Structure 1
Amino acid sequence: MKSFIIILLMACPLFGQVIKGPVTEAEYKLWGTMDSNQLSDYGNWMSYSVRYESGKDTLFVRHTKSLKSYAFAGGADGRFAKEDFFVCRGTDGGISWQNLKSGRQQTYTEISNYTIALEGSMLLLLKNGNGGGGDLLGIGADGKVVLTIPKVTLFSLSPDSNALACDSDGKLRVIDLKVLKTVVLVDEVARDYRQIAWQSNGSSFAYLTDGTVGYFSLSEKKEYKFDRNRFPNFPKEALVCGASVAELAVSDDGKRIFFGIKEKEPTVEPTGVQVWNTADKILYPARAALKDWTVRPKLGVWFPELQQFRMVTDAQFPYQQLLPGQEWALLCNPIFNEPQFNRDASIDYYLQNSTTGQSKLILQKFSDDQNKIGISGAGRFIAYFKDKQWWLYDVKSDTRRNLTSHTGQSFTEEKYDRSGEEKVSGIAGWTQDDKEVLVYDTYDIWLLRTDGSPAVRLTRGREEKTVYRLVPRNAYTSLRSSDSGVLHLNDGLLLEAVSDTKSGYFTWTAGKGLQKLVYESNRIGGIKRSLNGVIVYTKEHYHLSPQLVVQYNINKKKVLYQSNPQQKNYQWGFSKLITYENSKGKVLHGALFYPAGFDADKSYPMVVYIYERLSDFYNQYVNPSLLNGEGFNISNLTAQGYFVLLPDIAYEEGKTGQSALDCVTAAVDEVLANESVDPKRLGLFGHSFGGYETNFIITQTNKFVTAISGSGMADFISSYLAVGNKRPNGWRYEFNQSRMGVSLFDGFQKYLDNSPITFAKQIQTPVLLWSGDADGQVDYYQSIEFHLALRRLQKPNVLLLYEGEDHVLMKREHQVDLTHRTQEWFDYYLKGGVKPDWLMPDRL
């Protein structure tokens, strides 16, 4: 793979620079998307990539002070090794090892896998093999090959990256990378090795071969092999396997080996008859897919020294999560409390001793919401949210403690307004030795002490209407750490802050509290932080294409990279946050985008895009593009002379459609009273739940000249009684987004009153419908129903069905097609454009 050096020069401004006007479709291809990747350990280098729809992507590495840069065409999977080396993969399968200080580059071809060892001092490359494995190469900092191991198919680094376990010609060995020699040959017999897993301290590892499991203790230099024939409790006709739900693992103490077991699936003779019984726990399609839970791999545990084995999961408890330390496992059966009528049943959680197999029920009929339960970093506690409080369960003492009753604070999400149970924002993390757990309320972060001492609110977001959230360590640094999930309060915390108009980052320390890093009226995100305090983050607004900014302190910062610099050559729109009230007096916001080249003396058409709450998008940059999975693009529309409005909607349970109508019309009226928008040229656009809202709104008002509705519901009754993803669809109405709050049979009139199909006769608005005929979220027959109703009523309507597409269009040709058609539809109805051929009726 070739690379080249770029020296960024500060160009002088061009006098008399000509603005070309709004961007056109032919120029969309000039726009790229920047991705922030990694900051080197001491903040001298930053990697980022720029992706184009043409596929001509480039990975860059730039010095944060001199701006010296390296570019890797088609580069991906880039990583820093120490401070002066960078490695990445090319489009041809090769690997580039770049010396950032000297500029020297080595390229290695036909590489199937790579990793960095010895804390960045060595690059390990596995070359492609021809069935028998390839050479594993160790590359030193000077680019020279210092280690060659032939015929390798599998390798794994120890946790400290100083040792390597690998097979060579089918024989498993351990190599000390510091001295570059084999220290242990595990087995003289050649085997087909599939997986390797290290003990957390690196003193042993387990391996998976074709059909069995082995364990090797480095301290004892002793190998143990699992023999299924010695254990009558090993499931008959089952196979040892590697699976994401039952991973190969060694316990922290090295005494237990966990691995996956795949049972034989039962043979079912086809009868040609499906039996659906209302007393069944789950619907027939889901039951048939489970095959008595045999399709899900189970977890077994083996005690090599004791030569004992037992199953951790089985058909009774098919789901598990090992607690840190692996002494305990949390078990459940997600369908035990079926049948019920929410999307998922409540859960009975059992705690199992992984050594004895004894289990006890610790939470009964508990919420299936994973934000309401969390396991401590050392595995001593389980925190859970119940009865509007955070509780703590002590695993060892089998006792419970309420952590929040004395605070007087609600920890539910106040902005969540769907039907069903209240939501929480969850757990931020646990401190060292499980002394504290940090949890969120709607705005703030609370420190709850596990010994029952008074809670402490770390932030003051509620007063400022600012939401503070913890930035996890692995999100801002690439450094490996054995306790990366543990919070060290003495080192401080990195927090993200977001309000209605601002965003940014703060640090929190016990001594100083909150200290601002960056917080401004732009969208700030993607922070990376080095060991010496250098930070890099992205900055954007609708009128500002994303920048990469490096900051050394609060007063010293600069732009490291400006994406899409060509934007300055074109007229571009801008945005603002509007405020309005619905008929209930609730204050809401909306994101309003102005046409490119806006002239206050002119009158413009406007497209209103709706869903639930969308005002957060007001400061997000949007590339113009034809590749839109919903056919909607803000920048396309503003470039074509449209205002675009994204209003927030607040809901009243049982009045879902009416709430959308109320809030959307209030937002539109606010814009009409203050902006140069032509009230006779308003368009409405919605997809999914927004498609439903669009369908409903046009049955109640003629405010909109035209509308486009994608994958939307039309009939609450038929949709309630449909099957989606092997589940009854009614949960969406009783417990979730459709916000009915009651069953169809306890609120039949509500369902009628919120169904667009009920009022189809009142529609005067031409509407374009579209859906994918493989939609797993909203049955495309909802669109067909609406189309047939409008056809019978002789209302103007066109339905587009995209073959093989799901809820959002994924095929490029379909994305382009839909984008063109939505554009032509709005141009025809809102601008008086030419009627496209596809709107003409057939002439059969």
Structure 2
Amino acid sequence: MESRTKCQWQFPQGNRNIGAIHDQNRNISFLIFRQIINIMKNRLSVNILTALLVLFPILFSPSESYSQRRSNNKQEKEKRDSKEGKRELKMEDVLKWNRITESALSSDGKHIAIKLEPWKGSATVKLYNNKGAQLFHSDSSGTIAFDYYGKYLFFKKEKSKEGQDSKNGYNLGMLSLDDYNAEYFENVKNFHAPVKKGGMLFVWKGDSTLNVTAPGTESRTLSGKIHQYSVSENENSLLTTQGGAVVKYEFPSFKTDTIWKGKGKIHSLSLNEDGSQAAFLAGDTLYLNVGDKQAYMIANGVSQSRKLKFSPDGTKLYFGFKIPLPEKDTTIEKDDFPQVHIWNWNEKTQFTQQVVDKERDKKASLLAVYHLDKGSYYTITNENVSDAILVDKGDSPLVVAVSDTDYQMESMWTGRSKYDVYLIDTYLERALFALKGIDGYPRISPSGKFLYWYSAPDSSWATFSMDTKEQKLVTLPDVLPVFDNENDVPDWPSSYGAAGWSKDDKEFFVYGQYDIFKVDPDGNEQPVNMTVNGNSSGITYRYLEADPNEEFVNFDGNALLMGFDNNTKGYGYYLLGVKGEQPKTLYNGNFMLGTPVKAANDNSWIFTKERFDQFPDIWYSSNDFSKNTKITEANGQQGDFIWGSAELVEWTSYDGVQLQGVVYKPENHDPLKRYPVIVNFYDKNSATLHSYRTPEAHRSTVDYHWYNSHGYVIFNPDVVYKDGYPGESAFNAVMPGISKLIEEGIADPERIGAQGHSWGGYQVAYLATRTNLFAAIESGAPVVNMYSAYGGIRWGTGLNRSFQYEHQQSRIGKTPWESPLRYMENSPIFTMDKVNTPILIMHNDQDGHVPWSQGIEFFVALKRLRKPVWLLNYTGEVHWPQKLKNKIDFQLRMKQFFDHYLKDAPAPQWMEPGISAIELETKTGY
């Protein structure tokens, strides 16, 4: 049995004042205060001592009473808000809040299109020029896309109310960017926009006709009923099924060729890049067409679940063979067939996981390749080698086959897997070499010269040369630390990631905590710091792809970087300097920036910029981001509402660790007033200081803007963890952060609540057993009994839960039989008698992440102890409510719960006296 480490509530290190002890109006000195505590601490529980420590500064306040200050400040604030004409956010306002769910920049950089969508209501497509003038708008129900030349905008349009019940599809708009007139195609099932040079617009309609248009010319309708179609990558060829025939078209000539007629259901149409080759299935028979020849059969027993894929050079066709399913025992009648699950201790895959994956596994296939020049195929994977990676996009005859079969059992407990890797020559039909038990999933460099992976046990990137067959660690941790040095789970630290490879695989670019490094993949040269000053300046640099289709990273002096300032939490765009120089600042500040999108044929960009008080609207910029124009105003109504501000705060944990968090204050925050506070946290979130946090009926957390608008302060503290002590780690991090808010006069110590979900739900449940400071706590989908949770199942995936306690988020680091005390002292269920805080639990009966029984254990224990507790179960919902009506309900009830305990609002009926099962069929009890 382990010895138990006790944690006493103590002053934050480095600042031993609580509240405003140093205030000249105080009538009690700190020395006397400390003597009183020393006398009493041997007689009081930790919880009572905690309450005294935070309440003493308020009890010994200046001459003006606290209640008087609250009343006066409330009157002053109401006058200010009334004068400014602002009001509190209501839920109906939140539901009208817009999101930009799609955005696009025309290839010439002259037009920007967005899809604007509220949480409840119809979406709208809007078109702007690059000066910010709105040129067009229409209701929309889906995708927006520009054509290659930037001459047309395509968008799905809502049908009229009369046509909404039609099963024939939607309406497609084609807007000319010359005169901004729109042409509409009705009853569209599917369309393919012309995004390639010389490409065509294909519109497949509900009556199975297919319209083909070169934008700007008259549309042509292909003859016959089209049941399926596939477009070549260059958009100049089309493969269709018409009745029992497969017909190929070439454009712009509209040349037609029937390449096959026969029996069998036709599906899985595929064309190579230039449309000169076609493949399809008739039943489970694979046919191939080359040029003007008739399609011919090349294999039987082919699966339609794996997409047919030509290599870019057209020399190979990849497909999958069906895996035969077990034959049914026909000797047993259907009604007599037993319904049983049989779990086996030797199964490499947990039976529950097999059940979840069963339908997917029934469709599994064995990867095969057909070599056109040989006229034969080779099967690459088998029952033990289930995955394969194509080299050089499939142009190479080499394939990397990957298997985790021998490590599946082990991965149940570790949460990670090892892999056996085989290099196979599909042309020669043999394996060239094997790597056994590598700890990291392998990838292929773009030119196919190296295998590479992050080897977690070595905290290093590893490469394997296809040429020399040598395996090397190319970033030794004592030379170049590429591992997460803030890792706080009982497992090997993960990497910071990689930017990519240079042309011809000559150089490999990896990330450190701050900088980007050039690494020799052969391991012969020393790493080179490409960004120079990241570590010294506290800026984390990351590479931005200007072209999403680029294969290689170009660090020749024009590479665009994203920078994150770890001190201010601000973002910026930077240009990589020449060798030996630090990156050039293009645009930065105290805001958050999104990944910019470049025009395909112009040196212009669109990007988003946001702060807590500024929605991430679309901005347009020139090549160097020196002139930026705001394009959209998605939520102009924001100025009508009382809003909030975000500030960074710092404190020291009881473990002596410097921590940060974000405090969100209501607009017109009065520094002389103390506010009700809700502490909401998960692990580390201070990096999101400038995140907008769009108002939303959230599924699992308080809405910061909604609560700010109603006079609440929200506090989101960072937490760092010590292996084996996740609960105490949360206590040691969060409590002195709260005392900092009390000390600074922000928090009313009598009106502090806490809220968290899942991992956050566990932590606030744990805090309820350690302190009486909180006036109310909402705990969503919490684990309260780590013993029973350890042996449970994550029903959404079928995985057992052991690995997350031994190696991941739950951070115990050992099994219950190795360290039973750790499981007990981190489980709130064993100290429920210490809870004196009203608790609202939300846990749903179909939760696939955390067993619903955990929420039940929490509720029943508190009810048995006659402690105030409520449980919300959104029946049929998973880890969180997904239906909008249930998310709204959750937010309304949680707000009523906090309003009751933190703002003295009357309790709603569902809380007091309660609402019965019969009553819930007819009313909400709000």
Same fold (TM over 0.5): yes
Secondary structure at the counterpart of residue 421 of structure 2: strand
Residue pair 1:224, 1:304 contacting (<8 A) in 2 also: no
Aligned to 1:465: 538
Of the three residues 235, 238, 253, the one matched with 1:161 is 235
Task: Give, as a single letter, the amino acid of the residue that structure 1 aligns with 2:201.
Answer: L
RMSD: 2.6
| Distance in 1 (alpha carbons) for counterparts of 2:390 and 2:106 | 33
Of the three residues 589, 593, 597, the one matched with 2:664 is 593
Deviation at 1:361, TM superposition (A): 5.7
Aligned to 1:284: 351
Deviation at 1:565, TM superposition (A): 0.9
| Distance in 2 (alpha carbons) for counterparts of 1:461 and 1:46 | 34
Aligned to 1:750: 822
Task: Give, as a single letter, the amino acid of the residue that structure 2 aligns with 1:579.
Answer: E
Of the three residues 535, 542, 553, the one matched with 2:605 is 535
Percent identical residues: 23
Distance 1:388 1:43, change over 3 A: same
| Distance in 1 (alpha carbons) for counterparts of 2:860 and 2:477 | 58
Secondary structure at the counterpart of residue 545 of structure 1: strand
Are 2:857 and 1:785 equivalent residues in the alignment?
Answer: yes
Deviation at 1:693, TM superposition (A): 0.3
Cα shift readout 1:772-824 (whole Å, capped 9, x = no counterpart): 10001100101111111112222211111221111121012211111111001
Of the three residues 409, 414, 418, the one matched with 2:480 is 409
Task: Give, as a single letter, the amino acid of the residue that structure 2 aligns with 1:633.
Answer: D
| Distance in 2 (alpha carbons) for counterparts of 1:491 and 1:169 | 56
| Distance in 1 (alpha carbons) for counterparts of 2:199 and 2:274 | 21
Aligned to 2:225: 151
Aligned to 1:62: 128
Aligned to 1:232: none
Residue pair 1:21, 1:597 contacting (<8 A) in 2 also: no
Deviation at 1:562, TM superposition (A): 2.0
More helix by percentage: 2
Aligned to 1:4: none
Aligned to 1:172: 246
Distance 1:397 1:171, change over 3 A: farther
Are 2:874 and 1:765 equivalent residues in the alignment?
Answer: no
| Distance in 1 (alpha carbons) for counterparts of 2:857 and 2:195 | 63
Task: Give, as a single letter, the amino acid of the residue that structure 1 aligns with 2:124.
Answer: T
Residue pair 1:571, 1:596 contacting (<8 A) in 2 also: yes
| Distance in 2 (alpha carbons) for counterparts of 1:289 and 1:842 | 38
| Distance in 2 (alpha carbons) for counterparts of 1:276 and 1:83 | 59
Deviation at 1:584, TM superposition (A): 2.5
Of the three residues 614, 620, 638, the one matched with 1:544 is 614
Aligned to 1:568: 639
Distance 1:638 1:202, change over 3 A: same
Secondary structure at the counterpart of residue 281 of structure 1: coil
Residue pair 2:132, 2:630 contacting (<8 A) in 1 also: no
Equivalent positions of 1:165-244 (< 5 A) are 165-182=239-256, 184-189=257-262, 192-200=265-273, 203-218=276-291, 221=293, 223-228=295-300, 239-243=301-305
State the structure with more CA Rg.
2
Residue pair 1:252, 1:326 contacting (<8 A) in 2 also: no
Secondary structure at the counterpart of residue 838 of structure 1: coil
Structure 2 unaligned blocks of 5 or more = 1-81, 160-169, 330-336, 917-926
Aligned to 2:74: none
Aligned to 1:309: 377
Distance 1:536 1:275, change over 3 A: closer
| Distance in 1 (alpha carbons) for counterparts of 2:858 and 2:195 | 63
Aligned to 2:403: 333
Task: Give, as a single letter, the amino acid of the residue that structure 2 aligns with 1:503.
Answer: Y
Are 2:175 and 1:103 equivalent residues in the alignment?
Answer: no
Residue pair 1:57, 1:73 contacting (<8 A) in 2 also: yes
| Distance in 2 (alpha carbons) for counterparts of 1:355 and 1:99 | 50
Of the three residues 88, 91, 95, the one matched with 1:22 is 88
Deviation at 1:277, TM superposition (A): 3.6
Are 2:599 and 1:522 equivalent residues in the alignment?
Answer: no
Residue pair 1:20, 1:571 contacting (<8 A) in 2 also: yes
Aligned to 2:326: 266
| Distance in 2 (alpha carbons) for counterparts of 1:205 and 1:441 | 46
Equivalent positions of 1:106-121 (< 5 A) are 106-117=183-194, 119=196, 121=198
Deviation at 1:272, TM superposition (A): 5.3
Aligned to 2:714: 644
Secondary structure at the counterpart of residue 639 of structure 2: helix
Deviation at 1:296, TM superposition (A): 2.2
Deviation at 1:72, TM superposition (A): 2.3
Of the three residues 690, 702, 713, the one matched with 2:783 is 713
Are 2:485 and 1:425 equivalent residues in the alignment?
Answer: no
Distance 1:80 1:675, change over 3 A: farther
Cα shift readout 1:202-227 (whole Å, capped 9, x = no counterpart): 54333233322122223x74643224
| Distance in 2 (alpha carbons) for counterparts of 1:657 and 1:472 | 41
Deviation at 1:753, TM superposition (A): 1.2
Deviation at 1:450, TM superposition (A): 3.1
Deviation at 1:527, TM superposition (A): 1.3
Task: Give, as a single letter, the amino acid of the residue that structure 2 aligns with 1:400.
Answer: Q
Deviation at 1:66, TM superposition (A): 6.2
Deviation at 1:123, TM superposition (A): 4.1
| Distance in 2 (alpha carbons) for counterparts of 1:556 and 1:168 | 53
Cα shift readout 1:136-185 (whole Å, capped 9, x = no counterpart): 22223325215634322333333323333333454334333133333x44
| Distance in 1 (alpha carbons) for counterparts of 2:179 and 2:263 | 43
Task: Give, as a single letter, the amino acid of the residue that structure 1 aligns with 2:269.
Answer: I
| Distance in 2 (alpha carbons) for counterparts of 1:800 and 1:347 | 43
Deviation at 1:76, TM superposition (A): 2.5
Equivalent positions of 1:356-367 (< 5 A) are 356-359=428-431, 362-367=434-439
Residue pair 2:701, 2:756 contacting (<8 A) in 1 also: no
| Distance in 1 (alpha carbons) for counterparts of 2:518 and 2:365 | 38
Secondary structure at the counterpart of residue 110 of structure 1: strand
Deviation at 1:358, TM superposition (A): 2.3
Distance 1:836 1:289, change over 3 A: closer
Aligned to 1:10: none
Moved more, 22-31 or 102-111: 22-31
Aligned to 2:517: 446
Deviation at 1:563, TM superposition (A): 2.1
Aligned to 1:691: 761
Cα shift readout 1:568-588 (whole Å, capped 9, x = no counterpart): 122211111111111222222
Distance 1:513 1:535, change over 3 A: farther
Secondary structure at the counterpart of residue 42 of structure 1: coil
Cα shift readout 1:121-148 (whole Å, capped 9, x = no counterpart): 5542333355xxx222222332521563
Aligned to 2:562: 496
Cα shift readout 1:364-408 (whole Å, capped 9, x = no counterpart): 22335x5xx321112221112222222221224422233224981
Cα shift readout 1:480-530 (whole Å, capped 9, x = no counterpart): x5xx33334448323222223211322326467623332110111141122
Q: TM-score of the superposition, structure 2-length normalised?
A: 0.82
Task: Give, as a single letter, the amino acid of the residue that structure 1 aligns with 2:155.
Answer: C
Residue pair 1:122, 1:139 contacting (<8 A) in 2 also: no
Deviation at 1:359, TM superposition (A): 2.9
Task: Give, as a single letter, the amino acid of the residue that structure 2 aligns with 1:544.
Answer: Q
More strand by percentage: 1
Deviation at 1:473, TM superposition (A): 4.4
Structure 1 unaligned blocks of 5 or more = 1-15, 229-238, 476-480
Residue pair 2:787, 2:816 contacting (<8 A) in 1 also: yes
Deviation at 1:240, TM superposition (A): 2.0
Are 2:120 and 1:47 equivalent residues in the alignment?
Answer: no
Task: Give, as a single letter, the amino acid of the residue that structure 2 aligns with 1:194.
Answer: H
